[in-house]
Structure 1
Amino acid sequence: MSESRDLFSSDFCLAILGGGQLGKMMLYQTRQWDLRTKVMDASPEAPSRLACNEFVIGDLMDYDAVMAFGKDADLLTIEIENVNVEALEDLQNKGVEVFPQPKALRIIQNKAQQKLFYTDNNIPTAPFSRFAYTSEIEDSLANGGLAFPFVWKSARFGYDGQGVKIVREAADLEGLPNVECIAESLIPFTHELAVIVSRNVQGEVKTYPVVEMEFHPEANQVEYVLCPARIPEELSQKAQDIALKVSQGLGIVGLLAVEMFLTESGEILVNESAPRPHNSGHYSIEGSYTDQFEQHLRAILGLPLGRTDSKVPAVMVNLVGAEGHTGDVRYEGLDEILAMPGVSPHIYGKRKTRPFRKMGHVTIADASLEEARATAARVKSVIRVHAKSNK
């Protein structure tokens, strides 16, 4: 694709749906390559607004807004999967290249459809039941079709720990939205893992190393990402093989992040997938020969894929808004963490903080993964994302 047209320092236009931190970090690379971009987001304060050539305010789920935004683009991609797929399909039919492909996005947007895709393609995943409405779960429990405990997941629009809840008793169902959902078996696991697979237009495929994720127990968000994962090589290979199978089945051009559970018995089960750069790959900016954002661009532009191995072990720490703090953001402890060896903070540019909102991340690179993890714990204990005045 790239040989037939000029991409860099040209009129070629890459359109990105979503202006959050993933889009901002993707724009690091478009700036380096002098690749013309335009971004659409519903928020006038979106982090990507300053780094693109053109910024458009619009609802990503609105058909007309997406059509108007994408009609003059040469290529369109996403940084969040909650977008209007019908518009993407129609743009594709009108000749606009769209990656990841709308057909795959339809599957991934709906967690029930995702789970059906895994079972239909013999991809190991936790047992589940599908419900048109949350209210149907009570009947299933009463009739023996479902038993406690299980994980409730909204089929649509779950993000950053929202739309997921562990249900251990009937009282835990109270207050859940009455929407299409799944009830998934609660899996006893030893590790949560992720593998990012990259695929370009020509069909070249590469995987990143398996990473290990440590989650915040209350927010259901990733606190730490460790690369490489602290698991035996044979399990790493098994996880990569499963991720490749998911990627092959979906046929996604671009990146696909596949999250997995490693069970106590050594089984690897796919949890869910995301067709875009992913929180589990942020370490790659400092840790990899080719970071995930550059790799995504290489893939969708039809360029050769870059090396995915690590230059150095790395640990990523998410910076999230502190509990009890809402309002204009204030970062405390940045000077102190910058004095630590191998520490690289990334501040996303969100002016307002709220509890558990992703506001940035810090990567710690070190020849020793153990030392990097220890430094990450010190970073976590020092830095605070507070509000200048609580409301």
Structure 2
Amino acid sequence: MKNYFSSSFKLGVLGGGQLGRMLLTETQKLDIYTVILDGNSEAPCAQICNEFHQGDLLDFDTVYNFGKQVDLLTIEIENVNIDALDKLEAEGLTIYPKPKNLRIIQNKAAQKKFYKDHDIPTAPFNHYAYLEELKHSYENNIINFPFVWKSARFGYDGNGVKIVRSIEDLESLPTGECITEQLIPFKNELAVIVARNKQGEIKTYPVVEMEFHPEANQVEYVICPARIDEAVAKKAREVALKVADAFDFVGLLAVEMFQTENNEILVNEVAPRTHNSGHYSIEASYTNQFEQHLRSILNLPLGNTESKVAGIMVNLVGAEGYTGEVVYKNIEEILKVDGVTPHIYGKKTTKPFRKMGHVTIVNEDINEARKVAQQVKETIKVIAK
């Protein structure tokens, strides 16, 4: 086996945001030399990695030249230059997740077609090269309100997703490539994280349930285990495994799903990396998602994915009406509560709904943890000076 630990091995990471920062906790634990590329000189990883490079993740030359300096390359954001990754892979660099997976996942239309081609359950959809095409469909009664509009590229955290209920909503959409989906009535939004290494060892984390903020369309709470029937949880894990298998995926894959009114599981989308829905695992699991990501991409034995205790994650996002140098108001109040652990992402400036951190609440009783999570949400405020 290759020696990754206290050695000359260099792990490259495209992206230096909060996911990279939490990954660095694990690379430091194992003394793996980590090199980060990010466009922002004040990215959360900048001060704490072994080596930091500033550059555009979508620029071919920047990504290619960065890749030539490392022994294995991974990502913490999927919006990166895939052509550069293809060339690096052709020249022998190991890259996980694989560039061919990223190419599909980067584009929501390609992702949906992939599910359809592999008999993976997903909501019915239409694909449009540009907005005018979508308008023609509406005018010709091919599509009716309401429907879900999604930008094919560069959507995240509720950006690039809109429920279209009227002609005014339709007129206000961006002009580029998009998909529309039938608006599915669902009981729950669920997620399953799958880990898979090169030799094909595969494990799933428990199914989590996600509660969303109604205005921001961002996850407010992640609840593990999901408060669902065991048969539904089993089905969700099976669907997640089918997705990872279809991609022949290596690394960590977060599969977001809907549980419909009649308990069908439909895949919404995937993230080919560590994910917001797995942050609870730092405190609640035997092996947290960031350590598991390292184990999977380095082809090491995968760790135990079970939870030691029930966990709930609360996202800390910038309060509305505040932009500027960040202040975490009442943080000492939540620190008085048993089982509460804040994680601050190192972003110096806040703005409305920007992800600034998260708080994990652990408890033997999931319902008690949910009450504490509510208390935490109502107490701590992310404001500006």
For the residues of structure 2 that align with 1:145 and 1:114, how far apart are their CA atoms? 22
CA distance in 2, matches of 1:116, 1:236: 25
Q: Does 1:250 align with 2:251?
A: no
Q: Deviations over 1:25-71 (max 9, x none)?
A: 00000000000010000001100112210000000000000011110
Give the SS at the match of 2:46.
helix
Encode CA deviations 1:258-305: one digit per residue, 9 max, x unaligned.
000001111110000000000000000000000000000000001000
Cross-structure match for 2:168 = 171
Instruction: State the distance in 2 between where 1:235 and 1:81 align.
Output: 29
Taking the aligned partners of 2:44 and 2:171, their CA distance within structure 1 comes to: 35
Q: CA deviation at 1:174?
A: 2.8
Q: Which residue of structure 2 lines up, in the alignment, with residue 271 of structure 1?
A: 268
Match of 1:380 in 2: 377
Q: 1:161: how far off?
A: 1.1
1:202 alignment counterpart: 199
Which 4+ residue blocks in structure 1 deviate beyond 2 angstroms?
none
User: What's the offset of the Cα at 1:137?
Assistant: 1.4
Counterpart in 2 of 1:54?
51
Distance 1:198 1:270 in 2: 17
Equivalent position of 1:15 in the other structure? 12
Give the % identical residues: 64
Tell me how many residue pairs correspond in the alignment: 385
For the pair 1:146 / 2:143, whether they are aligned, the reply is yes
Most deviating of 324-333 and 373-382: 324-333
Match of 2:332 in 1: 335
Query: For each residue in 1:140-159, what CA deviation from the matched residue of structure 2 results, as whole angstroms up to 9, or x when unmatched?
Result: 01111101100000000001
Find out whether 1:42 has 2:39 as its counterpart: yes
Alignment match, 1:97 = 94
Query: Structure 2: which 5+ runs fail to align?
Result: none
- 1:231 maps to 228
How far apart are 1:175 and its partner, in Å? 2.6
Q: CA deviation at 1:325?
A: 1.0
Distance of 1:213 and 1:77 partners within structure 2: 26
Find the aligned partners of 1:174 and 1:365 in 2 and give their Cα distance: 45
User: Structure 2: how far apart are the matches of 1:324 and 1:147?
Assistant: 36
Q: Give 2:93's aligned amino acid.
A: V
Q: CA RMSD in A?
A: 0.6
Query: 182, 185, 191: which one pairs with 1:185?
Result: 182
Which deviates further from its counterpart, 134-143 or 52-61?
Answer: 134-143
Cα distance in structure 1, aligned partners of 2:366 and 2:47: 35
1:281 paired to 2:282: no
- What is residue 63 of structure 1 aligned with on the other side? 60
1:314 has 2:311 as partner: yes
Q: Is 1:350 the counterpart of 2:347 in the alignment?
A: yes
Q: Distance in 2 between matches of 1:292 and 1:51?
A: 20
- Residue by residue over 1:151-180, the C-alpha shift from the partner in whole angstroms, topping out at 9 and shown as x without a partner, is 000000001111010001111123321010
**In the aligned structure 2, how far is the partner of 1:322 from the partner of 1:107?**
34
Distance in structure 1 (CA, Å) of the matches to 2:89 and 2:224: 36
Q: Structure 2: how far apart are the matches of 1:44 and 1:299?
A: 29
Pair 1:368-2:365 in alignment: yes
SS of the residue aligned with 2:286?
coil
TM-score by length of 2: 0.99
AA of the residue aligned to 1:121: H
